[in-house]
Each structure stands twice: as C-alpha cells, then as structure tokens.
Amino acid sequence: MNSLPGVSISKNVRFEHVFFRTNADGYFRLDQTDRRPVYVINLGEQTGVISLQSIRQDLLVADDGADLAMLDAVGEALKFVKTLRLGEALPSEVVNGQASWKPEAHHLKTANRRIVAALVKWSEGWDGPITELYDLRQFLSHHVDRRKITQALQRLSAAIDSDGDARIQPILMGLARELSYIEALREKITRVSRIGRILEDIRRAGGRQANDMHEVTAVLRLFSHMVRTFDDMLSTVDEQILDILAAVSAHETVGKNIRDIRNELQCQLIPWEEPLVQWEDVSEKEVDLAAVASKVSDLYRMLAPLYSPVDEWVRTGSYHEVIGPDRSADSDENITSLAGGDEAEPSRRA
C-alpha cells in the first residue's frame, strides 16, 4: 500500500495540501474509460476530473511524503470501493489486509464441506478437484461418513508427524474460514454467469439480425475473457485445497494465497454490483434484445477497458479533464490553477 517506507498514514483519507482543503467536497473514483484513479471536483457548472498521477506530478513534491503515501493508499483502495471522500475510512484490505466484508453462514458450511471432501479424497487416493456444488454434495453423500473422516484425520496427523488431530483441527478450520470468502465470491460469479447465459440466448434467437447482434457478440467475447480469468483463480484455490497435506503443512502460505485471490476476485467483481441488480428481473427465457439493449451497451462500456486486448480498446481522456454541459473531456487548464490559494509555489503544501 505505502510506497514510501517510514511514512505512516492515517486510516482515514486525509491530505495536507491546500488543493484538497480548497476542493474538500470532491471524491475519488476510478475513471470510467480506463480505470485510472481520479479525483472529481465541483467547478460550478462544470466537473473537474483529475488523475491522481497528475496530482502527484503537478502538485506534490518529495516533502509531501504523507500525501504521496495517501495517494498510493487511495489508488489501492479504489480497487475495493467505488468511491472515497476526504475523511472516510480506507477499506481494511488496504489498512491491514483483512476483508472489509463477511461471508454468510452457508458459505462457511460449503467451505467446511470442501475441506472434508479434500481430506477424504486425499486419504483414499481420489484424484481431481470438485468445483460444482452438486458434485460436492454427491461426493459427500456417497463417499463420506464419520468413520472415513476420523480415519483421514489420523492419516493426515501421522503424515505431518503430529500428536493427534488437536493441532490439525484448528488449521483445517482456519483454512475453511479463508475458503468461505471464496465461496461467497464463487456464488456471485454464478450470478454474473447467469447474465452471460441470457446473452447467449439472445444471440441464438437473433437469427440474421447481424447488426443488432454486434454488441451482444462483443460483450460475449469480453465475457469469455472474464470467465477464463475467474476460472483460473478459482482453479488455483481448488488445487491448493485438494492437496490437503501440502495445504496443512504450509497453511500460512496457502492462507495468504487464498486471501490474495479473494482480494483480486473482489476487485474484479465490484463493477458488477449495479449490473447484477439491473439484470435481476430479466428472465433467462426473455430473449428480446430491444428490452435489454441499453443494459447490453452498459455492459460493453464496463467490460471493454477491463478485458479487451490493449490494441482493441483505445484508451481516451487526459490527465486534465474538465467536463461541462457544452465541453468535451479535454481541457488545457493546468491542475495547479485548481489548487486554490495564493501560493507563490503552488506545488508545495500550504
């Protein structure tokens, strides 16, 4: 989070530079075009959109160490929250590495079941991870009982040269807690995948309406990139848990790996919060493109900067964007003119 060793920062968003005091009603977000962190300020009838990189280059100097570190923290925080205002708390992912949200009880139950399945599969020499919940339930129903669990715990304890399962149980419970976050995110990914199925139905029903299907096809192409990304991360977690002996033996490392993937998945799923609500009432049997055309366009605008190859997505906008009712996004106005005050040297703190 902090690229300046030895510089401590607040748990809340605070800056010393006069620019932020002058524009205290602004807020931070990611740019909608290329996902850069920006600061949005009110300029009366216009809105100023200024990249954090521009603030760093044009306003701050080496002496502004705390502000530079806070800019780093805000940039990292915007991966986990949609907006941040001055005075608001930084998400705990940035402050101490802990999740700022909690999975539900059924996620922990599913995580425990995955741990038990991995334990018994290892004990009895079964190969291959179980990813689908249906397959997990089937395996537990047909191949797992209390005797097999006890036997597997004994074998695992002997394999790591432990005195009984008193040491093993807390480790397994800890891994299950970490895994419960992945289960919650896996559930959200299932909801996202439902939108993909609706789009596939729309494309199949589109027939020869090639022009109408162009944007749907483009979104589905982006979907495929996204799904592969999600699948790769989930597969990494599943494989680490499947090798339960290695997972227990190196539980601290495995736990950290799971947390890292948890955070990355969470970052990539945050943009889906609004689309999931918007598509909630769209039936998988409704394949009327006209009814969801605007939603499809919104999906493309969201997914393109995230999952398009660089040569397919032209990144637009400048460091000094000033957007008003009758103006384009570009402006020649320098950021220092927005800092406020009568500083002789506007790049320094007041």
Domain-embedded: residue 5 = no
Q: Does residue 138 sit in the same domain as residue 187?
A: yes
139 is in which domain, residue-wise?
105-310
Q: Does residue 214 sit in the same domain as residue 152?
A: yes
Does residue 187 have a pLDDT over 90? Answer: yes
Averaged pLDDT for residues 296-309: 88
Q: Does residue 250 sit in the same domain as residue 278?
A: yes
Among 3-12, 29-38, 104-113, 304-313, which range has the highest average pLDDT?
104-113
Q: Does residue 175 sit in the same domain as residue 251?
A: yes
Instruction: Name the residue type at position 221.
Output: R
Domain-embedded: residue 195 = yes
Does residue 313 have a pLDDT over 50? Answer: no
**Could you tell me the pLDDT band of residue 229, with boundaries at 50, 70 and 90?**
very high
Q: Does residue 235 sit in the same domain as residue 111?
A: yes
Domain-embedded: residue 7 = no
The encoded tokens of residue 94 equal 């940035």
Does residue 7 have a pLDDT over 70? Answer: no
pLDDT of amino acid 127:
85
Domain-embedded: residue 3 = no
pLDDT of amino acid 207:
56
Averaged pLDDT for residues 23-47: 89
pLDDT of amino acid 196:
94
Contact 227, 196 (CB under 8 A): yes
Q: Does residue 181 sit in the same domain as residue 46?
A: no
Task: Mention every residue, 6+ apart, whose C-beta is less than 8 A from residue 337.
Answer: none
pLDDT of amino acid 13:
95
CA distance 82 to 29: 6
Question: Where are the alpha helices (H) located in 206-314, listed in sequence order?
Answer: 210-242, 244-249, 251-269, 273-278, 289-307
CA distance 17 to 39: 14
Q: Does residue 140 sit in the same domain as residue 237?
A: yes
CA distance 123 to 39: 54
CA distance 126 to 129: 9
Domain-embedded: residue 93 = yes
Averaged pLDDT for residues 36-57: 90
Does residue 338 have a pLDDT over 90? Answer: no
Domain-embedded: residue 12 = no
Quickly tell me which residue has 């009432």 as its tokens. Answer: 281
Task: Mention every residue, 6+ apart, whose C-beta is less than 8 A from residue 326.
Answer: none
**Total tally of structural domains belonging to the chain:** 2
Q: Does residue 302 sit in the same domain as residue 322?
A: no
pLDDT in tens, 102-153: 999 999 999 999 999 999 999 999 888 888 888 999 999 999 999 999 999 9
Q: Does residue 139 sit in the same domain as residue 199?
A: yes
Map residue 51 onto helix, strand or coil.
strand
Q: Which of 62, 58, 59, 95 lies closest to 76, judged by CA?
A: 95
The encoded tokens of residue 160 equal 């790591």
pLDDT of amino acid 323:
33
Does residue 33 have a pLDDT over 80? Answer: no
Domain-embedded: residue 245 = yes
Q: Does residue 226 sit in the same domain as residue 91?
A: no
Q: Does residue 72 sit in the same domain as residue 158?
A: no
Looking at the chain, the whole-number percentage of residues with pLDDT higher than 90 is: 59
Tell me the average pLDDT of the chain.
Answer: 83
Contact 165, 153 (CB under 8 A): yes
Does residue 82 have a pLDDT over 50? Answer: yes
pLDDT of amino acid 320:
32
Q: Does residue 278 sit in the same domain as residue 326?
A: no
Domain-embedded: residue 348 = no
